[in-house]
Amino acid sequence: MLGGLGGRRMAAFWKAVAGGLLLAVCLMGWRVDGQGNGKKKVSGDSIIYLGQERNPWRPLIRTTANLTEIRSIKSTFQFRTFDPEGAIFYGDTKNGEDWFVLSLKEGFPLMQISKEDVQVSVTGGPKLNDGKWHTLDVSNQGKFVILEVDGLPGLVVGMHSKQTKEVISGQLRLALGGILTSKDNLIVEFEPQMDGCVRKGHWLNLSMPWEADADELWLCHQNIQPGSFFAGEGFTIFNTSVFQTIKDLGFRVEFWGDFTQMEGTILSMMSSQGELLAVLEANNNTNEIHFTIRKQKHILTNAMKQLRITFFEDVVKVVTFLDEANVEMFSYDPLSAPEYLTELREGRLAIGGLLGGVKDMVGSNFLRGCLEKIKIQLKDLDLDSAIKDMSASSHSCPV
């Protein structure tokens, strides 16, 4: 639905919505300056990490401005991520009746706009989840809102509505890393968590501080690589019922990474009755990987680059890849018939920590290190889909 709205009305709308919303884009990068009304005040001249732990739809930072203060309708910022999906910025007027969202979907920019009786969504442009810094420029040019990426055309969105009225007063709300409208209002659904960073933002002509609910804002790493980074402060939990289990193929979990640089629990699995079925731990002091099946402990070398564990009904098979030409295989038979697959189907699986209970989902011995890739049942595991996600960067590791 790319089209014209008609000069003055569309320009007024985009000045209020697109323009203000654009400001959200420039939110990138903040420095905590202090507290005024009980919330942290943040300035827009530093770098900020969007993936900080919180309610996934709740914005990390937000601000409010009077529409009469807006003089510019252009915002520019730099953005970097390996994450293919998540919210970048949001803006609205009329207390959320008219809104705008910029996000990523499958790595591509996605813009969604709701104004009066018209809703528009457009996806396209270059993929942005390559781990490089990209300069995004969002502007209102007459009838259209235009997104440029690294100086080249990205997306162009236009709207037409007979009901559109000029918005020249009231307030504009801006938010970074989340939305202020209900997720049910979105035209295209997406997962909100964004493991990404923004910096060097220039937001319209506004200079007021932004508010952050967090006591402390997490920092962005200078250099990153693909993977999932655990800082030794939390873990991610999944219900095993979401993974398809086929009796003859078993239940397969695979990890890639430099195991010599890991410390703590990599994997723990628990039955629906609260019994620990398996634990995989890295010990840097001994240069060993400990794999425990119930009460049987097995010692592996941490010199491997890949580890594959497959649970069958009555046996567990482990394959370690030291390099492309050096592969070792082990089979662990149970002391008594355990029916692993049966117990796994309604249990819990944790990456990065030791499960402590079924209901409270507490953990311990948290992992510190980078898992370059995780696969379950031959599919890449996205940590953003966890039922509980604590202190882990889902798609990037520091270098």
pLDDT tens column, 240-279: 989 987 777 889 999 999 999 999 999 999 988 888 889 9
Query: Residue 176 pairs with which residues in a beta bridge?
Result: 61, 89
Q: Is the pLDDT of residue 26 over 50?
A: no
Q: Among 158, 40, 27, 157, which Cα is nearest to 88's? A: 27
Cα distance between residue 43 and residue 19, in whole Å:
19
pLDDT at residue 138 above 50? yes
DSSP string of 3-71, one letter each residue: ----HHHHHHHHHHTHHHHHHHHHT-S-EEEEESSSSEEEESSS-EETT-SS-TTS-SEEEEEEGGG--
The CB density around residue 338, as the number of other CB atoms within 10 Å, is 19
How many CB atoms lie under 10 A from the CB of residue 147?
21
154 near 3, Cβ under 8 Å?
A: no
Question: In the predicted model, is pLDDT for residue 12 greater than 60?
Answer: no
Residues in the chain: 399
Task: Say which residue the tokens 């590791």 belong to.
Answer: 397
Q: What is the pLDDT of residue 155?
A: 92
Which CATH architecture describes the domain 228-398?
Sandwich (2.60)
pLDDT higher at 290 or 219: 290
Q: How many degrees, rounded to 5, is the angle at CA 44 between CA 196 and CA 78?
A: 40
Distance CA 98, CA 372 (A): 41
How confident is the model at residue 360, as a pLDDT?
Answer: 59
When mean pLDDT is compared over 160-174, 308-322, 365-379, the highest value belongs to: 365-379
End-to-end CA distance of the chain: 43
| CA 66 – CA 47 distance, rounded (Å) | 26
Tokens of 130: 């390559």
What tokens appear for 17 in the block? 């919505």
Predicted confidence (pLDDT) per residue in 70-114, tens digit: 777 788 889 999 999 999 988 888 888 889 899 999 999 999 988
Domain ranges, ordered by start, for the chain: 40-161+168-220, 228-398
Contact of 129 with 83, CB cutoff 8 Å: yes
pLDDT recorded at residue 42 = 79
Instruction: Report the C-alpha gap between 300 and 303 in whole angstroms.
Output: 9
HSE-up of residue 39 (Cα within 13 Å, Cβ side): 12
Alpha carbons 49 and 60: distance in angstroms, whole number: 9
SS3 399: coil
- pLDDT, residue 189, reads 94
The pLDDT of residue 259: 96
Architecture of domain 40-161+168-220: Sandwich (2.60)
Q: How far is residue 207 from each of residues 27, 87, 104, 180, measured CA to CA in Å? A: 11, 23, 27, 21
Phi, psi of 16 (to 5 degrees): -80, -45
- What is the pLDDT averaged over residues 45-64? 85
CA distance 26 to 13: 19
How far apart (Å, rounded) are the C-alpha atoms in residues 354 and 241? 19
DSSP string, 172-183: EEEEESS-SS-G
343 sits in which H/E element: helix 340-344
- Residue 152 CB coordination number (10 Å): 9
**33 pLDDT band (50/70/90 cuts)?**
very low
